[in-house]
Amino acid sequence: MNKILLALIALSLTYSSCKTVDKPSVVNSEVLSSALKEKTNKPKNVIFLIGDGMGLAQITAGMYSNGNKTSLENFKVLGLHKSHASNKLVTDSAAAATSFACGVKTYNGAIGVDKDTLPVKSIFEFAKEKNFNTGLVASSTIVHATPASFFSHNKYRKNYEEIAADLVDADVDVFIGGGKKYFDRRDFDDRNLLEEFAAKDYNISHFAEKDITDFTIDVSKNFGYLTSDTDPLQVSQGRDYMIPASKFAMDYLTQKSTEDGFMLMIEGSQIDWGGHANISDYIVSEFIEFDEIIQLAYDYAKADGNTLVVVTADHETGGYAIQQESTMDSLVTAFTSTYHTAVMIPVFAYGPGAEEFAGIMENTDIFHKMKKLIIDTEID
Ligand code: MG
Ligand code: ZN
């Protein structure tokens, strides 16, 4: 049996039902499983999508409110993760993002540090060592807990100015999010980090100068764009950069990563804020925008064939529930909390290596699986 035929069989098994996988009638199963592994286990790129506070009820409410559709239905590999922190059963976004970014359980409030406040090497730092390009897009400030855990090491999430200074040194190839004031009007010191980015050969800009759609891609420089002075608006209040920014980051990293791969993290930050506010419409509108970004990532990965997409949340927010009186057009919802909850969180994966994300796992396993797939294996 030649290699092309094996690869074809492996490919067809990957996309067919479990029934077929149970009975590989022609091929020796050991040969087959190694062929499958070769075919599936080496993504060149990873797009990691985090819907902050996006539990199953949030997804469900968004889906029904969006004509009973979600882009997540494209994903055939599903898992669940356990979100607990080292010091609390109910995690915050900092401990949870550190679990994804660095692979350790830590305390609530920790940014890229372990439970003893010691820095832990992040997947972005591993990726840089392998000549990967990295990117971050968020609908919060770029120094907020979720994106921060990928480039910063700080004992406390609200040290925003210290976290902003870490971004100058992190060599993230493309970043887009809010929080300009932490860069150019600092209480902590007199540094102007926008000037420091420019001196480091970043193409650096912000909302008061340009719109995200005004840029043409120039991969000879890193790219940074700050979308607001403090927290970005809600999507329902007119925030409109997330979709063009996600496209920009994907195009930028594609053009820059002709040989080596890239890792891009995009966060739908404010699904969580709708949960804290106990406002169902806020959750739904933020989810629906994020759902479009998930579709963009899926379409990219499907066309590219070498990109793994992983979609998950850090935790659920609000103890959100869809009640008996609901119809598909009109949800009747309730909340049990204005904070996060400990319920297990869905994980969706598509592309080479997606099978790794089936079943129940710790949130830290998401780091270890991504690391195994793009850092520990050689890229062809
Ligand atoms: Mg967040
Ligand atoms: Zn939250």
The model scores a pTM over 0.85: yes
pLDDT at residue 35 in the model: 47
Tokens (6 digits) for 131: 């000549």
**Distance from the CA of 143 to the center of ligand 1, in angstroms?**
10
Helix (H) or strand (E) holding 108: none
* Residues 308 and 263 sit within 8 Å (Cβ to Cβ): no
Q: What angle do CA 254, 256, 260 make, to 5 degrees?
A: 85
Q: Is 236 a catalytic residue?
A: no
Asked if residue 17 and residue 72 are part of one domain, the reply reads: no
Residue 380 lies in a domain: no
Asked if residue 112 and residue 21 are part of one domain, the reply reads: no
Residue 379 lies in a domain: no
Smallest-distance ligand from the CA of 275 = 2
Asked if residue 279 and residue 307 are part of one domain, the reply reads: yes
Task: Mark the residues whose beta carbon lies below 5 A from ion ligand 1.
Answer: 52, 93, 146, 269
Asked if residue 201 and residue 70 are part of one domain, the reply reads: yes
Asked if residue 152 and residue 139 are part of one domain, the reply reads: yes
Tokens (6 digits) for 48: 């990691």
Residue 2 domain boundaries: 1-40
pLDDT at residue 41 in the model: 73
Smallest-distance ligand from the CA of 108 = 2
**Distance from the CA of 339 to the center of ligand 2, in angstroms?**
6
Identify the active-site residue in 65, 71, 83, 93.
Answer: 93
Q: What is the pLDDT of residues 219-258, one digit of tens each?
A: 999 999 999 999 999 999 999 999 999 999 999 999 999 8
Asked if residue 16 and residue 155 are part of one domain, the reply reads: no
Smallest-distance ligand from the CA of 272 = 2
What is the total residue count of the chain? 380
pLDDT at residue 18 in the model: 40
Asked if residue 352 and residue 247 are part of one domain, the reply reads: yes
pLDDT at residue 377 in the model: 64
Residue 336 lies in a domain: yes
Asked if residue 72 and residue 1 are part of one domain, the reply reads: no
Write the CATH number for 53.
Answer: 3.40.720.10
**Distance from the CA of 272 to the center of ligand 2, in angstroms?**
5
Give the separation between CA 149 and CA 139, rounded to whole angstroms.
15
Asked if residue 147 and residue 191 are part of one domain, the reply reads: yes
Smallest-distance ligand from the CA of 145 = 1
Residues in the chain, pLDDT under 70: 1-40, 377-380
Residue 310 lies in a domain: yes
**Distance from the CA of 267 to the center of ligand 1, in angstroms?**
7
Asked if residue 90 and residue 28 are part of one domain, the reply reads: no
* Residues 43 and 351 sit within 8 Å (Cβ to Cβ): yes
Residue 18 lies in a domain: yes
Asked if residue 28 and residue 82 are part of one domain, the reply reads: no
Asked if residue 66 and residue 30 are part of one domain, the reply reads: no
Q: How many domains does the chain have?
A: 2
**Distance from the CA of 29 to the center of ligand 1, in angstroms?**
43
